[in-house]
A and B are shown apart, each in its own frame.
Chain A
């Protein structure tokens, strides 16, 4: 009986650990622990108009191969 109870606890801990390790919770796609530096909003790109977005795509493509 005791062995069964211990076995049950171990199984529950393993299942809990499995989901903990597979979850992120930060909303980040990248689940690494890398810290995102807090930067002022002014340092980000303006995505106001479609031209802005096209321009941002153009400049970003420079970094997709390297």
Chain B
């Protein structure tokens, strides 16, 4: 009888480990319903098609996802090199549903998911700096979604789309790694330039 109880406890401990690992694992697939991100761009970053994942050059990997549109997804591209990948993926999960909304409702959803006030200048929380970084990443996701939509509609080919998404991913990584606003602004200039050349 004692053995049965001990086996039961050990079984619970082992199974609880897997439950925990599925929630915060940096390498696992995001399986929560909240991880359902409709953004085409986001889908582009979270695919799991082995053929695309095996591509070593990022731009080609993104292009592969754009062209194959796999249904299932794994770790977002910009989270791959993140210092805290679990937090990076959690941000993804928290904001995913917001992209179904439009205009001010979308902004409201994003800021609430991140924990920001409507006006950043009025937000006096100690974490405003970090939250604002998350918010800018969320806005970059929005741009990425627009690129994918343009690609889906045939307004932008996969090569051009991949170049822009790669730049967006680089900026998100830079923001996540804590670079200064001046550096981000420089990168944003490059993105705007690409945007004007390809989309406008």
Partner of B103, one of A47, A50, A63: A47
Question: CB-CB contacts of A24-58 with B at 8 A, as 1s and 0s?
Answer: 00011110101011010111111110100110111
Residues of A within 8 A of B8 (CB): 8
Say what secondary structure dominates the interface of chain B.
helix
Q: Could you tell me if A64 and B87 are in contact, using CB atoms closer than 8 angstroms?
A: no
Inter-chain CA distance A7–B6, complex, in Å, is: 10
Q: Is B72 in the interface zone, CB < 8 Å from A?
A: no
Partner of B114, one of A7, A29, A54, A56: A29
Q: Would you give the shortest CB distance from B125 to chain A, in whole angstroms?
A: 6
The listed residue with most B CB atoms (<10 A of its CB), out of A8, A50, A54, is A50
Q: Is B120 in the interface zone, CB < 8 Å from A?
A: yes
Partner of A57, one of B23, B90, B103, B139: B139
Q: Which of B118-154 contact A (CB under 8 A)?
A: 118-121, 125, 127-129, 131-136, 139-140, 142-143, 146
Q: Would you give the shortest CB distance from A26 to chain B, in whole angstroms?
A: 9
Report the contact-size class of chain B (Cβ under 8 Å from the partner).
35 or more
- Across chains A and B, the number of contacting residue pairs, with CB separation under 8 Å, is 132
Q: Could you tell me if B104 and A44 are in contact, using CB atoms closer than 8 angstroms?
A: yes
Identity of the chain A residue whose Cβ is nearest the Cβ of B185 in the assembled complex: A61
Partner of B132, one of A41, A53, A64: A64
Q: Is B57 in the interface zone, CB < 8 Å from A?
A: no
Q: Is B184 in the interface zone, CB < 8 Å from A?
A: yes
Residues of B within 8 A of A59 (CB): 120
Residues of B within 8 A of A61 (CB): 136, 181, 184-185, 188
Residues of B within 8 A of A4 (CB): 1-2, 5
Interface residues in chain A, defined as those with a beta carbon under 8 Å from any beta carbon in chain B: 1, 4-5, 7-8, 11-12, 15, 18-19, 22, 27-30, 32, 34, 36-37, 39, 41-48, 50, 53-54, 56-66
**Top 6 closest pairs, chain A to chain B, by CB:** A43-B118, A44-B107, A30-B115, A63-B132, A39-B118, A44-B108
Q: A45-B107, A47-B104, A63-B120 are in contact. List 9 more A-B contacts (CB 8 A).
A: A39-B117, A41-B108, A43-B119, A54-B188, A57-B136, A60-B139, A64-B136, A65-B129, A65-B181
Interface residues in chain B, defined as those with a beta carbon under 8 Å from any beta carbon in chain A: 1-2, 5, 8-9, 12-13, 16, 19-20, 23, 34, 87, 90-91, 94, 97, 102-108, 111-115, 117-121, 125, 127-129, 131-136, 139-140, 142-143, 146, 175, 180-181, 184-185, 188, 192, 195, 199
6 A-B residue pairs with Cβ-Cβ distance under 8 Å, sorted by A, are A11-B13, A44-B108, A47-B103, A57-B139, A60-B120, A64-B133
